[in-house]
């Protein structure tokens, strides 16, 4: 076997050497063949664009054949007459199809055909290579190719004109059975910046509402063949229900990064700051406080790499350089989410335990301020002496606004004590100058400590939802205030750059339009510059020793070795599988199934024997439909609930009584 292989290799080598000595190497022939085939394929592929070149080559070859043939000149004359007849037939057919050639095109046809006939006769008489025939051939090629290629150049897509936009609307949106039947597109005009156009949607009174027009944004985007983020449908300024404002962007200005200009974005008279821009250049407004009323809470959510941390950098930089705001921050990830602010805010809690101390201190400050504000005498503009303040304005009695940012809020709110403290602040902090800013990836109830009260309070203020991967995020966060689609926002622009900061905002600027937050390039520069506004002395006293010694406690923690949680196999585990580490995340994951199932059972028991549907249970408890269905199936297997029909469940009184008996016996 080995000898046979060796002999074959020797024969191939000798054959290659033999070919290379006598003529051309076999490798060279293969390469030439491949190159020829590639050129032929390209020639066929681009045959229309290369037609003038093919015509010139064919004319030159035909002229060479006629030059060496007997009777070449008469043959050239006959061919020229045939070409003229073919041109006349083509022009007549175009006219019959109502596509008659314009005078300019007709002149080009006649000139090129006549030039070809004269050039062919000259080649037949003196040959294609005899001067000045090559020069004349080149001139004829340029005369043919220039206009031919210019007419067939690749042109940019022309934008739709006003009548065409209205026609598209009438055919694809307003026709019967379409998104908004009977509607009319009026007052169509281009945007001043050239980024697109706007119009007014006139809706049939009594049949359609502005809310339905806003909900049809996706179908409008499909009709005009633009991304969903390029279509904005809003209510009219007067709130009319039979009209809506439409803006379509042909060029998305949000692709450009808008830098954060500095702390001057905050108006300390109104408490409103700019945090981003809409596609039309309008600033996105964000409210820190309302004068005479008090601070406004925040709910910020978005997926990983959606721009939450950059937004927090801009907000904390604004607070750091504001004379009326004092900032506390909780980052349970050890400060990794906001590393530039660990040393430059009033209190930075880098763990859940430290965060609990911070929240307790905030509640003490809140009640201390409440006592002071409720007892203070003051004189109003009419000269009347009054006692107590209903609301809060930063600077009142020397009290700055206390802003508490909780990043990765789901990790902190696993602790029930933290949930109670945050509820207390959310419900009572407005009148005492204490505000909450909850930041989480998903605004679902289980990410906010399963507290309806807490989510309702923070969602009543500024709500910012950046790009998400689930449709439910926008619906839950905005509580159906307007239809938005954060899960449909692109992850990258066409050039591969990030869409970080793209999202929706509900606050002073309540627009169902995509916005992009301002970009703070160097957070550390703004963290280290400026001076943090101090709390009033009475608040410092109320915050107590935990506030005064938080830096020392952090230094002591940093001196201790860091132990990572280990995954271990426990002997007592019947499954024999790995168990979750003893971390808050592991404990939550281990208890989540039982908690959800118990919550569903409690909900059904509270209905006192009434039927409930799976979807209604999922909505009432704010849990995913699949999770509710699985939990109900397990409860049915255990006999705790009864499945009446598909998707219909009930807890019978007998089952309820048995559960109470078991509870009493266990007690």
Tell me what the pLDDT averaged over the chain comes to: 83
pLDDT of 590: 38
pLDDT per residue as tens digits for the range 33-82: 778 888 888 888 888 888 888 888 888 888 888 888 888 888 888 888 99
- Judge whether 291 and 394 are in contact, CB under 8 Å: no
User: CATH for 263-557, among 3.40.50.1100, 3.40.50.300, 3.30.70.20, 3.90.1720.10?
Assistant: 3.40.50.300
Q: 10 Å Cβ neighbour count for 471? A: 12
pLDDT of 104: 83
Fold (topology level) of 584-666:
Arc Repressor Mutant, subunit A (1.10.10)
Is the pLDDT at 98 greater than 70? The verdict is: no
Q: In whole angstroms, how large is the CA radius of gyration of the chain? A: 39
pLDDT of 244: 92
pLDDT of 184: 92
Is the pLDDT at 227 greater than 60? The verdict is: yes
* Helical axes 103-126 vs 51-68, angle rounded to 10°: 30
* Range with top average pLDDT, 23-32, 457-466, 635-644: 457-466
CA contacts within 13 A on the Cβ side of 560: 7
pTM over 0.85: no
**For 495, phi and psi rounded to 5 degrees?**
-90, 5
Q: Domain residue spans in the chain?
A: 23-151, 162-251, 263-557, 584-666
pLDDT per residue as tens digits for the range 185-220: 988 888 877 788 899 999 999 899 988 898 888 899
Over residues 151-173, the mean pLDDT reads: 75
Is the pLDDT at 567 greater than 50? The verdict is: no
Over residues 444-454, the mean pLDDT reads: 89
- Judge whether 394 and 356 are in contact, CB under 8 Å: no
- Judge whether 189 and 198 are in contact, CB under 8 Å: yes
Tell me the two tokens of residue 576: 């024999």
The counts of H helices and E strands in the chain are 23, 22
pLDDT per residue as tens digits for the range 367-426: 999 999 999 998 888 888 899 998 899 998 999 999 999 999 999 999 999 999 999 999
Helices (H), 466-613: 471-478, 523-528, 537-543, 545-548, 550-559, 584-606
pLDDT per residue as tens digits for the range 261-289: 999 999 999 999 999 998 888 899 999 99
Is the pLDDT at 302 greater than 70? The verdict is: yes
pLDDT of 292: 87
**Of 9 and 153, more confident:** 153
**Of 452 and 666, more confident:** 452
Which among 253, 240, 142 has a CA at the least distance from the CA of 192? 253
pLDDT of 465: 92
Which among 563, 592, 564, 565 has a CA at the least distance from the CA of 581? 565
pLDDT per residue as tens digits for the range 349-359: 999 999 999 99
pLDDT of 89: 87
- Judge whether 536 and 547 are in contact, CB under 8 Å: no
Over residues 444-466, the mean pLDDT reads: 90
Which among 182, 248, 244 has a CA at the least distance from the CA of 209? 244
Of all residues in the chain, the percent with pLDDT exceeding 90 is 35
- Judge whether 516 and 276 are in contact, CB under 8 Å: yes
Cα 366 to its chain centre, rounded Å, is 38
**Distance in angstroms (rounded) separating the CA atoms of residues 238 and 63:** 78
Over residues 130-151, the mean pLDDT reads: 86
**Of 392 and 631, more confident:** 392
Is the pLDDT at 17 greater than 50? The verdict is: no
442 secondary structure, DSSP code: -
Over residues 482-494, the mean pLDDT reads: 80
pLDDT of 664: 34
**pLDDT class for 128, splitting at 50, 70, 90?**
confident
**Distance in angstroms (rounded) separating the CA atoms of residues 190 and 196:** 6
Tell me the two tokens of residue 204: 């049939």
Which among 482, 486, 456, 466 has a CA at the least distance from the CA of 275? 466
Is the pLDDT at 571 greater than 60? The verdict is: no
**Of 652 and 394, more confident:** 394
- Judge whether 437 and 406 are in contact, CB under 8 Å: yes
If DSSP states are collapsed to H, E and C, what string results for 30-76?
HHHHHHHHHHHHHHHHCCCCCHHHHHHHHHHHHHHHHHHCCCHHHHH
**Distance in angstroms (rounded) separating the CA atoms of residues 653 and 19:** 98
128-139: buried (b, 16+ CB within 10 Å) or exposed (e) per residue? beeeebeeebee
Cα 286 to its chain centre, rounded Å, is 20
**pLDDT class for 581, splitting at 50, 70, 90?**
very low
**Distance in angstroms (rounded) separating the CA atoms of residues 583 and 589:** 10
- CATH class entry, domain 162-251: alpha beta
pLDDT of 108: 83
pLDDT per residue as tens digits for the range 498-532: 889 999 998 887 787 889 999 998 999 999 998 88
Helices (H), 46-186: 51-68, 72-96, 103-126, 133-151, 162-172
Is the pLDDT at 542 greater than 90? The verdict is: yes
């Amino acid at each position: 076997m080995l000898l046979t292989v060796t002999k074959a290799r020797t024969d191939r080598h000798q054959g290659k050497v033999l070919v290379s000595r006598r003529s051309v190497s076999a490798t060279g022939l293969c390469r030439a063949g491949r190159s020829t085939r590639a050129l032929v394929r390209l020639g066929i592929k681009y045959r229309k664009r290369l037609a003038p070149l093919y015509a010139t080559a064919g004319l030159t070859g035909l002229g060479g054949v006629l030059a060496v043939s007997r009777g070449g000149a008469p043959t050239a004359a006959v061919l020229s007459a045939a070409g003229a007849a073919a041109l006349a037939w083509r022009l007549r057919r175009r006219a019959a199809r109502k596509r008659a050639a314009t005078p300019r095109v007709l002149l080009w046809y006649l000139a090129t055909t006549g030039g070809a006939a004269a050039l062919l006769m000259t080649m037949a008489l003196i040959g294609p290579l005899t001067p000045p025939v090559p020069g004349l051939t080149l001139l004829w090629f340029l005369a043919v190719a220039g206009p031919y290629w210019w007419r067939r150049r690749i042109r940019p897509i022309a934008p739709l004109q006003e009548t065409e936009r209205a026609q598209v609307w009438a055919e694809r949106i307003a026709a019967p059975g379409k998104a908004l039947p009977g509607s009319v597109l009026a007052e169509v005009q281009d945007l001043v910046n050239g980024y697109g156009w706007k119009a007014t949607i006139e809706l049939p009174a009594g049949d359609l509402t502005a809310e339905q027009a806003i909900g049809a944004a996706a179908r409008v985007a499909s009709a005009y063949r633009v991304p969903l983020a390029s279509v904005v449908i809003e209510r009219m300024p007067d709130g009319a229900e039979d009209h809506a404002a439409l803006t379509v962007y042909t060029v998305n200005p949000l692709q450009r990064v808008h830098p954060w200009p500095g702390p001057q974005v905050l108006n300390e008279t109104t408490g409103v700051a700019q945090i981003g821009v809409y596609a039309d250049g309008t600033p996105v407004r964000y409210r820190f406080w309302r004068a005479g009323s008090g601070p406004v809470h925040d709910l910020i959510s978005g997926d990983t790499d959606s721009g939450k941390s950059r937004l927090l950098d801009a907000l904390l930089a604004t607070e750091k350089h504001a004379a009326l705001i004092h900032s506390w921050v909780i980052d349970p990830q050890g400060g990794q989410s906001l590393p530039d602010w660990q040393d430059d805010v009033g209190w930075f809690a880098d763990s859940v335990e430290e965060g609990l101390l911070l929240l307790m201190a905030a509640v003490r400050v809140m009640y201390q301020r409440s006592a002071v504000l409720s007892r203070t005498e003051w004189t109003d503009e009419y000269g009347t002496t009054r006692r107590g303040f209903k609301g809060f304005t930063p600077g009142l009695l020397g009290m700055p606004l206390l802003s508490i940012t909780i990043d990765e809020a789901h990790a902190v709110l696993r602790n029930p004590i933290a949930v109670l403290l945050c509820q207390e602040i959310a419900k009572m902090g407005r009148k005492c100058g204490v505000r909450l800013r909850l930041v989480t990836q998903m605004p679902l109830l289980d990410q906010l400590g399963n507290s309806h009260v807490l989510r309702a309070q923070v969602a009543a203020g500024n709500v910012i939802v950046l790009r998400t991967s689930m449709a439910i995020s926008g619906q839950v966060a905005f509580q159906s205030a307007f239809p938005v689609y954060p899960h449909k926002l692109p992850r990258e622009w066409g050039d591969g750059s990030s869409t970080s900061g793209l999202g929706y905002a509900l606050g002073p600027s309540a627009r169902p339009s995509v916005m992009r937050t301002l970009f703070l390039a160097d957070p550390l520069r703004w963290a280290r510059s400026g001076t943090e506004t101090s709390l009033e002395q009475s608040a410092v006293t109320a915050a107590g020793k935990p506030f005064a010694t938080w830096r020392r406690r952090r230094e002591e923690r940093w001196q201790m070795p860091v132990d990572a949680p280990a995954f271990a196999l426990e002997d007592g585990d019947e499954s024999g599988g790995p168990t979750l580490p003893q971390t808050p995340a592991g404990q939550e994951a281990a208890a989540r199934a039982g908690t959800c199932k118990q919550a569903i059972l409690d909900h059904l028991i509270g209905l006192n024997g009434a039927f409930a549907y799976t979807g209604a249970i999922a909505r009432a408890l704010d849990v995913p439909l699949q999770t509710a269905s699985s939990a109900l199936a397990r409860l049915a297997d255990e006999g705790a609930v009864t499945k009446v029909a598909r998707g219909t469940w009930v807890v019978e009184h007998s089952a309820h009584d048995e559960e109470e008996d078991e509870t009493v016996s266990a007690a």
